[in-house]
Every structure is written in C-alpha cells, then in structure tokens.
Structure 1
C-alpha cells in the first residue's frame, strides 16, 4: 500500500478552517491525497470532473445548494466514488435521503476525529478488498460493513500533539474553568496558529477535557466555543 499511489479525495466544505482540519487529518493518518477543496456545489462539480476522486467528503449546507443533491447527480454517479456525508442536519429525512442515494457513511457535525477515523478506515478496507479479492465470502463482507472494534482506534490519535503545547492549552482551561472560549482566544494565549490550535482543541474534546458549545448568531456560521468539563 505504501508504494501505491495515494487515492484522491475531494473535500466539499464551505467553512475553510474545518476543511483544512479534515485535509490535515486525512493526509496525516491515511494513504490519501486531498486533490482539492470546494466551498460550493459549482466548485465541487469542477473538482470531481477534473480529478474523478475515489472519495468525497461532502457537507450538506452550501451557499449554492444542498450537498445531498450532488449525491444524485449523474457526474458523481459516473465516477463510482464513495461519499462520506457530513452535515449539521440531524433530521431523519436528510439522513435517509443520503443513505438511499448511496452515501458510504453519514456524520453529524461537530465531527469527532475518532468517528471520522473509523469511517475512513472502513473506506480504506473497502478499497483494499475491491483491489485484492476476486471472490468475496460472508466473513469478508461482515468485516467490511461492521469494521470490528479491534480495527478502530482505541483512543484519540496523539500524532501531531506536542506535550508542552498541550500542557499550555490544558493549563489555560484549568485556570479558567467557568468561561467558554473561542479558538481565537485560546491560540492567542498559547501562541500558536489557528490550524494547530483547532487540532489541539479537538484532541481536548476527544479526551474529555473540554466540551464544545455552538454559538448561533444572526449572520454567518455558528461559532464553536470550548469550555472546561468539570472534574
């Protein structure tokens, strides 16, 4: 697998910081290459037509339409690529539409990296099975569609997590346990970039140090705020 060409992925997400987080996580943890990031359906169609990727991470709410409609498009169907559908819409109608249309997986925002990891691991297993198997038995199918727990990560990945920086961030929350903090406030204190800060904050969420709160305003996307979990 390491000598083979990395499979190409297109990310369709109109929140640039989330798209970058997904790109960084995908390329660091899997033999995958993000061919492009699209913020609209129009851009998504152009990237899919150009690269014909094996996988699309697809957000639902986009400036020019719904991502779920892209799953039904002749262009996407013709590529034969898998779709991991990522959305804040938790209503059953959207979920069932995506699944009936052939979505490989369905993730609800905010997406935890451990859940994304499990989805990507199952996708890689599918690709390996399709590439190597001439006959698929029941055991192979069961393993493919249920992904045993032993194949899933046992805990949050520490890749890219540096102890000194982590201690600085955890110390910040420990010293300020009663307030909810934006990523901008945390990275200003820690002296790190936003991209790096988001990676550490998501790690803190997965390890149970902080929780995520969504602050909804009148305009634009909701802001993610982080608060120390008591204890």
Structure 2
C-alpha cells in the first residue's frame, strides 16, 4: 500500500542544526523535506507557498520569535502542525505553545533520539487521522496518547556498533576530567556529526557520560559531555 508523504518545513537559523534535522527527515520513509527557512519572514513565505503538514519551529530567530507564528491564523489556514524546538525553558513560552496546539515541545540542545521519537509519533498521528473518518472514544484516546506520550528512558543499543562505541568511550576514558563538545568529538574520532550525536546520547542514557549546558549566544546553549563519575 502506497502511503502519502508528509511535507515538512524546517525553521532554524543555525545552519548546522537545520542540516541535522534535514538528515533525520530524509531518513524517514514517510517524511519529505520541502524547505528550510532561517527567519520568521522566510517561514511565513514558505508556509504559504509550500503548504507543509508539519513544521519544525525554532523560537529564537533573527527577526523575531517563532512562538508568534504558532498563534498566527496563517498556520491554522495552512493546516500545519508544529514541533516547537527551542532553548526557551520558561513556563510562559511552553504554556503558550501548548495553548496554541503545538504537537510537541523539545528543548535545545536537541536529543537526536527525542526528536526521532517525536517525528515517528507525528507520522502515526497523521496516519490515524487519515484512516479514521469517524471516531469513537477509543480512537480519540489513542490520538491524545500519541500527542502526550510518556517517554521511557531505555538503554537500548539499536543501531549502536561495538567498535564505534569503543572509539567514543576510549576518548572519554583517556581524558575523564575534560568536557567535550560534539564538534571536539567529531575532530578526535573522525565520525560524522550525526553519528557522534547518536553515540553521545546513547552513552548518556547508559550512564557512561554526564551532560552540562554551556550558555553562550542567546538561544543556542551547547551540550557538553564528560565521563560520568562512577
């Protein structure tokens, strides 16, 4: 059975992060990237011209805040859902996003696994809406559960290759007191940024690494990794 593709627009002014999101979308068989916008004005133009069903929306943009777009009637007219991705951890921004119907709210620095789960839930959500023309209470409950799923931390090793994991872990064992950024690990190991992020997050979930936030430019804190104290 042929499934319809879900068109996705990325709104993110950090080009490296936008490319990581684009890579994640390109790997999903049901998602299709239709554009990347780096400003609020560009997002509005592409929202109207490309009519995406889903938008990955950053909050801190050069010409304003993404949260204002969530409450814009244009978004309702376009029938576009939003996964809000932001460094804004204040309750006012979070509440406003929820009140205006954001499908999900993900804090920066973005966990590769967390965003993957959110995209997968949205695909299921969209598919069930397409299939169910009339709903009963069980259907409605299922849709709400997809939007408000409780995340379980697990230490699963799906897609984790033993030699690559050993390479990453040996770096942190050799310099156990040092905090590494993703870019530093990329330089030291020669792995791609996407692969590095995935292995670092796996090590955090497994308890091998700890994480601290380094706040620099507003809206763009960095995730710093260090060998966990045993």
TM-score by length of 1: 0.86
Deviation per CA, 1:155-176, whole angstroms, max 9, x where unpaired? 55734x4432222111111221
Gaps of 5+ in 2: none
Alignment of 1:66-145 (within 5 A): 66-145=65-144
Alignment of structure 1 residues 18-33 onto 2, 5 Å: 18-29=17-28, 31-33=30-32
Structure 2 counterpart of 1:183 = 182
CA contact (8 A) 1:12 1:37 kept: yes
Does the CA contact (< 8 Å) of 1:165 and 1:190 recur in 2? Answer: no
- For the pair 1:46 / 2:34, whether they are aligned, the reply is no
- The separation in 1 between residues aligned to 2:171 and 2:123, in whole angstroms, is 38
Q: CA deviation at 1:204?
A: 2.8
**Aligned equivalents of 1:15, 1:157: Cα separation in 2:** 29
2:54 corresponds to: 55
The alpha-carbon distance between structure 1 residues 134 and 220, as it changes in their structure 2 partners (threshold 3 A), is: closer
Please give the alpha-carbon distance, in whole angstroms, between the structure 2 residues aligned to 1:112 and 1:41.
24
Contact 2:87–2:220, Cα closer than 8 Å, also in 1: no
RMSD of aligned Cα (Å): 2.7
Shifted more, 30-39 versus 146-155: the winner is 146-155
- Extract structure 1 runs of 4+ deviating beyond 4 A: 148-157
- Superposition TM-score, scaled by structure 2 size: 0.86
**Structure 2 CA distance for partners of 1:107 and 1:7, relative to 1, 3 Å:** same
Given the superposition, is the C-alpha separation of residues 213 and 99 from structure 1 closer, same or farther in structure 2, using an over 3 Å criterion? Answer: same
The answer to whether 1:16 aligns with 2:15 is yes
CA distance, structure 2, for counterparts of residue 89 and residue 106 of structure 1: 10
| Matches of 1:181 and 1:103, distance apart in 2 | 33
> Could you report, residue by residue, the CA deviation over 1:32-62 in whole angstroms, capped at 9, with x for unpaired residues?
1122222211221222122111101111111
Q: Confirm or deny: 8 A CA contact 1:122 1:145 kept in the other structure.
A: no
Q: Output the CA distance in 2 between the equivalents of 1:90 and 1:220.
A: 10
Size of the aligned set, in residue pairs, is: 229
1:152–1:131 Cα change, 3 Å: farther
Are residues 1:206 and 2:205 paired?
yes
Q: Which runs of 5+ in 1 are unaligned?
A: none
| Greater mean deviation of Cα atoms: 14-23 or 94-103 | 14-23
Residue of structure 1 equivalent to 2:6: 7
- The CA distance in 2 between the partners of 1:216 and 1:86, in whole Å, is 17
171-180 or 193-202: which moved more?
193-202
1:158 aligned partner: 158
Q: Describe the SS at the equivalent of 1:213.
A: strand
Separation (CA, whole Å) in 2 of partners of 1:195 and 1:133:
36
